[in-house]
Amino acid sequence: MKPILMLAVSAAALALGTGSAFADCGVEAGSVRILSNDFEALRIINATAQECATDAVTVTANATAEHKEIQVPALTINPAEYSVAVVANNSIVPLLNEDLIRPLDDLVAEYGQDLLPSQLVRIDGKIMAIAFMGNGQHMFYRKDILEQAGVQPPTSYDDVLAAAAAIKEAGLMDYPLAASVKPGWDLAAEFVNSYLGTGADFFAPGSAELTIDNENGLEVLRVMRDMTAFMDPDYLTFDATEIQKEYEAGNVAIMNEWGSLGGAVLDDEGAVEGVVENTVLTAAPTIGGGSIPAAALWWDGFTIAKNISDEDAEASFRAMVHGISPEMMAANKDAATWLIAGYEPGPAAVGVIANANGGARAYPMQPYMGLLHTALSTELAEFVAGSEDAEQALADVKAAYDTAAREAGFLQ
């Protein structure tokens, strides 16, 4: 049975890999131009969508880490430079704010039989994006180190801090913790994760008024500062890829890391002996006595540009549906935490799934969330560096956010 299954899977992979001529996407004519972020799962989807290319259909893809910077201008022109923008919870917001993507209800009704209801992102009742994978930061820990230190696997941040103290006490590691707290996007994401875990909201209901200046905000900052005591002194320069390296080098026992990097940690490349087999992926810790993982859940999905012809829109939608087909997922099970029908999570996906099952909240999609993220990314730097107290840091974030939100027209 097993070899036959293997054969079937590899045959499917071979069929997918070999080319355009056999892929039946049903697209007759049109131009498909994909703009996406640049990581493994998205490159696979882009390549699969490109199988739809025929003499009458062109499919091009631009996978770049700078996609957020170019998507708004590229979709504003008419006809748009790209017909498909692959986005996440946060990067869809500028496209919605500027009204640059089209509702997909008709296309879903006609060509979306393979899509699950949970994949449909609805804004104001209209389907605006098709999600295909989930992501998020969650806990990676070394069970051997925890055993040697005689501590149970942590489930809350207080446990994490206690475990770190025990590991340091036992002389197993100097800097047992790691988190991506480099000032900038990473640091802000770290705060957002933890704050979501407290269950509180960032904004007053029905307005852009910031409400993080409270005991929940202080608790989040306390935990962030306490964690830095157990981090490498260079923690201010560590982003997500850097802590992955530190972890694989065996310098770290517990870290919060992106689920999408789980596969890279667990593969047999780059890690020193003893790291891979002792690594456990699990939900992010809870914070402040809360019961949900303190981490934001992210989805990646595709949107179709507004400023393109209906023919191109149809071709783009069908090519992308082919790109995220269950067959593509079956051939690339471990590349991501897929939201596609028939997915069974592999070893690298259990962390994100655990976050979702634990009730973790999605990264907020409010139109002014980007302004808050920017304010957090600069104003928390001094706090996490240890040269400012928590009250001052929260007051600075609020002042910076208010200034930016007034300029952007969200606040009076």
Partner 1 sequence: MPNKTFFAFILPSLIAMVLFIALPIVSVVVQSLYVSHEQIMVEVENCQPFGGCSTELRVDTAATAALREEQPLGRFNGLGTYVNRAHLATTELGVILSSERSIGEKWAQILNLPFYKALIFTLVYCFVVTPLAMALGFTIALAVNALPKVTKGPIIFFSLLPMIITPLIGSLILYWMLSPNGILGATIQHIFNDPTLSLRASPALTWGALLTYGVWTNAPFSFVVFYAGLQTVPGDTLESAMIDGASRWERIRYVIIPHLAPLATFVALVQLMDNFRVFEPIVGFSAEANATSLSWLIYNDLTGDSQQFGSAGATSVLTILGVVILLSPVLVRTWREFKHKAV
Which residues form the interface with partner 1 (CB under 8 A)? 68-69, 89-91, 93-94, 96-99, 118-125, 131, 134, 182-185, 206-208, 233-234, 236-237, 297, 299, 339, 356, 360-362, 365-367, 369-371, 373-374, 377-379, 381-382, 384-385, 387-388, 392, 396, 399-400, 402-404, 406-410, 412
How far is residue 333's CA from residue 102's CA, in Å, rounded to a whole number?
30
Residue listed under structure tokens 């991501």: 336
Nearer to partner 1, 60 or 307 (CB): 307
Number of CB atoms found within 10 A of residue 278's CB: 16
Task: For residue 100, give every residue at least 6 positions away whose Cβ sits within 8 Å of its Cβ, in sequence order, or none.
Answer: 72, 75, 76, 80, 305, 306, 307
Nearer to partner 1, 271 or 360 (CB): 360
Number of CB atoms found within 10 A of residue 97's CB: 13
Q: How many residues does the chain have?
A: 412
Written as one string, the DSSP assignment of 84-109 is EEEEETTTHHHHHHTT-B---HHHHH
The nearest distance, CB 217 to partner 1, in angstroms, is: 18
Residue 400 vs residues 6, 50, 103: alpha-carbon distances, Å: 56, 44, 34
Nearer to partner 1, 271 or 339 (CB): 339
Nearer to partner 1, 54 or 366 (CB): 366
Residue 395 vs residues 199, 217, 376, 390, 401: alpha-carbon distances, Å: 21, 11, 11, 9, 10
Nearer to partner 1, 20 or 207 (CB): 207
The nearest distance, CB 73 to partner 1, in angstroms, is: 10
State the Cα torsion 273-239-38-282 to the nearest 10°: 60
Nearer to partner 1, 18 or 403 (CB): 403
Number of CB atoms found within 10 A of residue 367's CB: 13
Nearer to partner 1, 184 or 346 (CB): 184
The nearest distance, CB 64 to partner 1, in angstroms, is: 14
Task: For residue 138, give every residue at least 6 positions away whose Cβ sits within 8 Å of its Cβ, in sequence order, or none.
Answer: 256, 257, 259, 281, 282, 283, 284, 293, 295, 351, 352, 354, 355
Nearer to partner 1, 155 or 366 (CB): 366
Q: Are strands 297-304 and 177-178 parallel, antiparallel or unpaired?
A: unpaired
How far is residue 119's CA from residue 116's CA, in Å, rounded to a whole number?
5
The nearest distance, CB 278 to partner 1, in angstroms, is: 23
What is the radius of gyration, based on Cα positions, of the chain? 22
Nearer to partner 1, 332 or 366 (CB): 366
The nearest distance, CB 80 to partner 1, in angstroms, is: 16
How far is residue 351's CA from residue 203's CA, in Å, rounded to a whole number?
28
The nearest distance, CB 397 to partner 1, in angstroms, is: 12
The nearest distance, CB 143 to partner 1, in angstroms, is: 27
The nearest distance, CB 392 to partner 1, in angstroms, is: 7
The nearest distance, CB 367 to partner 1, in angstroms, is: 5
